[in-house]
Structure 1
Amino acid sequence: MAYGHSPKYYCVVDFEATCVKPRRADFRTEIIEFGAVIVDGSNFQMIDEFHEYCRPVENPVLHEFCKDLTKIQQNTVDAASPFPVVFDRFQKWLSGRGLTDSNFALVTDGIFDCNQIMRSQCEVSRMSFPSFARRFSNIKVHYMQFMGIRLRRGQPTPRIPDMLSALGISQEGQLHSAISDARNICRIMEALARRLRAKGRPAVFPNNETLKANWVVKHPSD
């Protein structure tokens, strides 16, 4: 949903997923950690959070590269529920907190969580892609617009630590932890909202991305 004003809520999500290095064309990414935080759209305070690990089914054994990157261990995912069960609990959590498709915007750090990771997971789980994730708010784009950043060809987009540092915020938790990344995205949003209001501008982070119809699922190694 597009918003001309701030939605009642934002739901910030971040995923960690199975990965392998070097890349393999036959390796499909699966979500192994699901982090989400509900943010009040009026004051940008964190209201509640959802955090669960997921058990991969197509490639159930985590590669060393994946464990080193995410710090998620094999026994953690072995003890977890498969993604469809976790996602059902996530949807019930949203509903229990009063979130509906019409009153919240989904926020991510970049386009890959929806276009890449969720899409690959839905293929593996043979699930329909969730309707609320077809349009979402990319915090990187909002940050770059506020900071006046125009990327040169081939220049990478800012990472969470880059945005935190530029906004004078210390990083909390571990990078490549889904729940820590989600919390830090919330802190970036709150800092941007404060600066927008100081300039007399509305503190709103409308949807600025859509699910890419022609996206080819890649198999990233990081």
Structure 2
Amino acid sequence: MGNIRCPFTHLLILDFETTSEEANCDYPFEVIQFSVVVLDVKTNTILENVSFNKYVRPVINPILSKHCADFTGIAQESLDSAATFREVYNQFVNWLNTNGFAERQFAVVCDSRQDMWRIAQYQFKLINATLPSFFRQYVSLWRAFEAEQDRSGRKELLEKTYIGKMAEYYGLDTTGRAHDSLNDCKTIATIVQKMLATGATIHINEVLVCSAVWRKRPAEIAPNWREDFREAGRIYERVMPLVVKPLRNGEYTTRDYGLCKYCKTGPEVCGKKHRQYPKELYEQERRTIVYARTAGYY
């Protein structure tokens, strides 16, 4: 079986679904589904009876766009009766405590940096709260998978999504509706199982920090960034207070838990204010950046 760096007892496979608008990346997205599946590290077993799955009622855009409803399969009625993100997050913390998942003893796994860096960071800003410690270091499974391909060999992969490509690589059947957070969590957990069973190393490979050298250079703004998710990501990287720092195997220890690699402080300080405020970005972009203004970034 593969190796898991750092003394984790469990891996918490986490996935979010968010509101979206077709062909518009300048959109104040909100979490509408919050799901977690648990993998026992010692036995490499998915705990079938221990999971977390809640719909979340959006506040800024309470009515789903047709694109979002079609994409996620989530009914408007499910959100109308759901709790807000702050309430659901508190339920998640209670769920952690009820199931004995103590901080520093579990690691969060997501399919890529988008869940923690972009979605979670933005959602906590919307409710005027700092990103909690256990979301600030995580396993980006896509990054781990890329490293694993270098070890075990690459294949031509036809699927379009990260989850789809990883499942295709290992010959795994995906069940349930795509873009349902709980189904995606189950698929990701199965991929982790397979990776560990075939000798892969799973470790904390990304952390969120408040400063990066490359952010000191002037931002280059593509005219079509609102229609191009990749180009929009370059804007998000400037606007978000925290940015991703990749880690090599062995660079993270539990002493680093929740602490920024640059300012050496925890969530009560780091990320609360923008250390690299992108003033030149707001001056260059004559049209209002809607998602930044909505979150109060400027």
TM-score with structure 2 setting the length: 0.65
Contact 1:106 1:132 in 2 (8 A): yes
Question: Cα offset for 1:212?
Answer: 4.6
Q: Indicate the SS of the match to 1:81.
A: coil
Selected match of 1:211 from 197, 208, 213: 208
Q: Indicate the SS of the match to 2:89.
A: helix
| Bigger RCO (CA 8 Å, 6+ sep) | 1
Q: Indicate the SS of the match to 2:54.
A: strand
Contact 1:32 1:54 in 2 (8 A): yes
Contact 1:140 1:157 in 2 (8 A): no
Q: After alignment, is 50-59 or 97-106 more displaced?
A: 97-106
Return the letter of the residue paired with 2:94.
K
Question: Cα offset for 1:44?
Answer: 2.0
Selected match of 2:127 from 125, 128, 153: 125
1:21-170 alignment, distance < 5 Å = 21-23=22-24, 25=26, 27-47=27-47, 48-148=50-150, 159-170=162-173
Question: Cα offset for 1:24?
Answer: 5.6
Question: Cα offset for 1:161?
Answer: 1.3
Selected match of 1:190 from 190, 193, 200: 193
The answer to whether structure 1 residue 20 and structure 2 residue 28 are counterparts is: no
| RMSD after superposition | 2.3
Moved over 4 A (4+): none
Contact 1:6 1:206 in 2 (8 A): no
Distance 1:157 1:4, change over 3 A: farther
The CA distance in 2 between the partners of 1:157 and 1:102, in whole Å, is: 34
Larger Rg: 2
The CA distance in 2 between the partners of 1:63 and 1:5, in whole Å, is: 42
Q: What's the CA shift string for 1:96-137, capped at 9, x where partnerless?
A: 111111100110010010111111111111122111110000
Aligned residue pairs, count: 206
The CA distance in 2 between the partners of 1:167 and 1:6, in whole Å, is: 26
Q: Aligned residues: percent identity?
A: 26
Contact 2:111 2:141 in 1 (8 A): yes
Q: Indicate the SS of the match to 2:97.
A: helix
Q: Point out where structure 1 has 5 or more consecutive residues left out of the alignment.
A: 197-202
Equivalent position of 1:199 in the other structure: none
Distance 1:158 1:74, change over 3 A: closer
